[in-house]
Amino acid sequence: MRFEDKVVIVTGAASGMGLLSAQQYAAEGAKVVLADVNGEAVESAAEAIRQDGGDVCAVAVDIRSYAEVENTVALAVKCFGRIDILANVAGGNPHRVCNCPGGFDEMPLEAIDWGIEVNFTGPIYFCRAVLPVMLKQKSGVIINLGSVDGVTGGAGSVVYGAAKSGMIGLTKSLALFGAPHGIRACCVSPGPVMTRAAMANMKTPLGRAADPDEVTKLILYLSSADAAFISGTNYLIDGARSCGGNG
């Protein structure tokens, strides 16, 4: 019960690693605010956690809207009184989500905007919105989800890689800003993860993609008291993909 009485906001919490992170935080005693653009799905996810005894609430939020982000933070404080951890998990490759399979040279501006706003602007918005609460508490942890593409780059993920690279810089700057106030920030950068068939088939030197549980365990460790002296660092969990070989 590492997170007993801790309050956590998880974005992208209706599916994938966001949902799994929310479930694991709740299982270890946290009070969790599940935030996702899909209101029906996130409420269903929250209800399932409640059925297992978790103390959670759900909110539909488009992280591209600062007003909606502020409302989510206000709801967390109203429901649970504080915010101890923010896990910025929401994101996605705009080529897939916006259905534009061509190269960067063919990418519609709408897809470029979506990729930057969801993968970078939205997390910045959430950090900005939770910081006044954490500063008042003199404590807090921010976990940002990066990607191996933010470290290595990727010819097929120009916008996504740029945004995820920004997450690493954001984390370093937040760590420096927050350090005098007891606030930590860490970045977790996965390689291929078995959340979708396409990623499960991506090669790594270890010969497989990561199990989502392997990634979320790292997220939870870094946000726990066990990692109290860790801040500002990017953690690759990529099966050595960033070392220059794809298996």
Chain Cα centroid distance, residue 129: 15
27: Cβ contacts below 8 Å, ≥ 6 apart: 52, 54
Helices 158-178 and 122-137 meet at what angle, rounded to 10? 10
Q: Of 175, 174, 176, 150, whose CA–CA distance to 163 is shortest?
A: 150
Strand locations in 61-182 (E)? 85-88, 140-145
- CA angle at 135 for the pair 69 and 22, rounded to the nearest 5°: 50
Which of 66, 160, 221, 235 is an active site residue? 160
Length of the chain in residues, anyone? 247
* DSSP helix/strand/coil, 33: strand
**Is 160 assigned a catalytic role?**
yes
What is the arrangement of strands in the sheet containing 85-88, beginning at the earlier edge strand? 55-60, 31-36, 7-11, 85-88, 140-145, 183-190, 234-237
Give the active site residues.
Answer: 160
